[in-house]
Amino acid sequence: MATFQDIIGQEKIVEHLKAAVETGNVNHAYILQGERSCGKEFIARIFAKALQCDNPQNGEPCCECQSCKQADSGNQPDIIRVTHEKPNTIGVEDIRKITGDVAIKPYSSKRKIYIINEAEKMTVQAQNALLKTLEEPPAYVVILLLTTNVDALLQTIQSRCVLLTMKPVRDELVKQYLMRDVQVPDYKADVCVAFARGNVGRAKALASSEEFDNIKQDAVALLKYIREMEITDILTAIKKISEYKFEIDDYLDIMAVWYRDVLLFKATNDINHLIFRDELPNIKKTADQSTYEGIENIIDALGTAKARLKANVNFDLTMELLLLTMKEN
């Protein structure tokens, strides 16, 4: 039963798509660009549903006609989600499902809409096959390309599409959504919002992730006592951190938010904008023990650690240098 009103943020995209539905001035192809989990497919589904609606109202789908009910259940025959057999590649055979199908008129609607998720995975051959359809599309065809990286698409494809880029959603809107719709308590919503960086889907995933809770608990436990640790304790901690190698960005982000709280509290003595408010005694203790220069050294070291890990520098050595910087500052 989703409508454009259910989309959080993305006001310009919503305005553009609603106007297209209302006026009938619909392009044959759109690119929705945004990071993973930001809601591209959700928006594409609502747009497709509205385009096929028998009785749209002010650009919104009515949610009552047969087409809307079919779209909500995933059974609208003229809204086609293009799948691909290989998980990391969309090949020419996958795209030929479209190119061979576009000549067949819609089954029950005025348009035939194709949704291609992860469009950046299309091979060059697949993109060239799609290009032929984009150059001379039947009047009833609309193609929605969803991608995390528009630059992975041929310039000739980009030039034939309307590009809509997803923007980070304001923190207060993400927090409202988590508390209202996901039933997340206030303090946990703040933590999820801080790590989601405007990505509603990621915030929702973090709110329900037991793994993220475990990472946060372990990271905070380490940060509380890092100054008192001996070198043997640090080496033991590194072994524990290595369990999160595949989630190390989350682990380092938690550390970064902790020291952001420490710096903020040291500068303002105000708890209202802290993410880790439930750890106030430890935040205050760290702030009292650290200088401004020391905190900045740690924040810089966190950035350096991320860069080293991306460059495949030895994991244990990178973490040892980071933890020693935290201990000494």
The CATH number assigned to the domain holding 269 equals 1.20.272
Given 182, 207, 232, the domain boundary residue is: 207
pLDDT per position as a tens digit, 74-85: 899 999 998 887
Closest listed residue to residue 35, CA positions, set 163, 167, 155? 167
pLDDT per position as a tens digit, 175-224: 999 998 888 888 788 888 888 889 999 898 888 888 888 888 899 999 99
- Record the pTM: 0.78
Residues 203 and 217 occupy one common structural domain: no
Residues 113 and 224 occupy one common structural domain: no
317 — pLDDT class (breaks 50, 70, 90): very high
113 — pLDDT class (breaks 50, 70, 90): very high
The CATH number assigned to the domain holding 113 equals 3.40.50.300
Distance CA 262, CA 295 (A): 8
Residues 149 and 174 occupy one common structural domain: no
Residues 174 and 28 occupy one common structural domain: no
**66-100 exposure pattern, b = at least 16 Cβ within 10 A, e = fewer:** ebbebbeeeebebbbebebeeeeebbbebbeebee
pLDDT per position as a tens digit, 28-43: 999 999 988 888 999 9
Query: For the purposes of burial, counting CB atoms within 10 Å of the CB of 233, is it exposed (0-12), middle (13-18) or buried (19 or more)?
Result: middle
Residues 184 and 273 occupy one common structural domain: no
Residues 192 and 258 occupy one common structural domain: no
Give me 68's structure tokens.
Answer: 């809307």
Residues 234 and 290 occupy one common structural domain: yes
CB-side exposure of 284: number of CA atoms within 13 Å? Answer: 8
Sheet holding 79-82, edge to edge: 79-82, 112-116, 141-147, 29-33, 162-165
Residues 220 and 111 occupy one common structural domain: no
- As a whole number of Å, the CA-based R_g of the chain is 24
Provide the pLDDT for residue 68.
92
Q: Mean pLDDT throughout 300-317? A: 91
> What is the extent of the structural domain holding 228?
209-328
Task: Give percent of the chain above pLDDT 90.
Answer: 59
CB 213 within 8 A of CB 251: no
Residues 20 and 159 occupy one common structural domain: yes
